[in-house]
Amino acid sequence: MSVPGAVEGMGKTPVKEALVATLKARGWTIATAESLTAGLVAATIADVPGASAVLRGGLVVYATDLKHVLADVPQSVLDRHGAVSAETARALATGAAARCRADVGLALTGVAGPDEQEGRPVGTVYVGLCVPGREAWSVRLALAGDRRLIRDQACDTAMSLVTEVAGGARPAGGEGGWDR
């Protein structure tokens, strides 16, 4: 995985610019479903000139019930796995893509602090991703810092992951790797 904020192989291009360029080159559009980042990813992508060619929209689903209402996360997933889980992240990504009619769905759910949530420690983040041609998957991040730093790191890491996958990278498994 690339260092958040820069993308390997692209001359350390800022991640938001690399994301837009890579999605444009691939001909893909993107939509987000954001819980802990509350729209930060969509807003960051929109900062890039020309982002309208790839950014379809985003869902801010900070409240748990909105994950079901707006992003179509099955209530059974929320009841069984909770709002902060790999399963919810995958369902959020799928829901964002479907609701916004985008090729790529990117979702973030997690705990920015100051307190744990659903028994998950501060810094636990799940990034969900769905792209054409494969089932949705997720990655678990363990981030450190204050609320702002955790949210910023989650945003940059999520955009880096999309850029890598859209650029043809296959995610590796293992600890901290991709869940299915």
Helix H segments across 60-139? 64-69, 75-81, 86-100
Residue with tokens 């792209």: 131
Report how far Cα 155 is from the mean position of its chain's Cα atoms: 7
| The predicted structure's pLDDT at residue 169 | 80
How far, in Å, are 55, 70, 153 from residue 140 at the CA level?
24, 23, 13
* Domains of the chain in sequence order: 6-170 (3.90.950.20)
Per-residue pLDDT, 4: 43
Contact 160, 1 (CB under 8 A): yes
11 Cβ contact partners less than 8 Å away, ≥ 6 residues apart: none
Residues of the chain short of pLDDT 70, as ranges, are 1-12, 170-180
Its pTM surpasses 0.95 = no
Q: What is the DSSP letter of 2?
A: P
- Position 1 scores a pLDDT of 38
Tell me if residue 29 falls in helix, strand or coil: coil
Q: d(Cα 129, Cα 109) in Å, to the nearest integer? A: 12
Strands 178-179 and 30-34: unpaired
Position 175 scores a pLDDT of: 35
Residue found under tokens 């989650």? 154
Distance in angstroms (rounded) separating the CA atoms of residues 15 and 33? 19
3-state secondary structure of 141: strand
Q: How far is Cα 67 from Cα 88, in angstroms, rounded to an integer?
A: 8
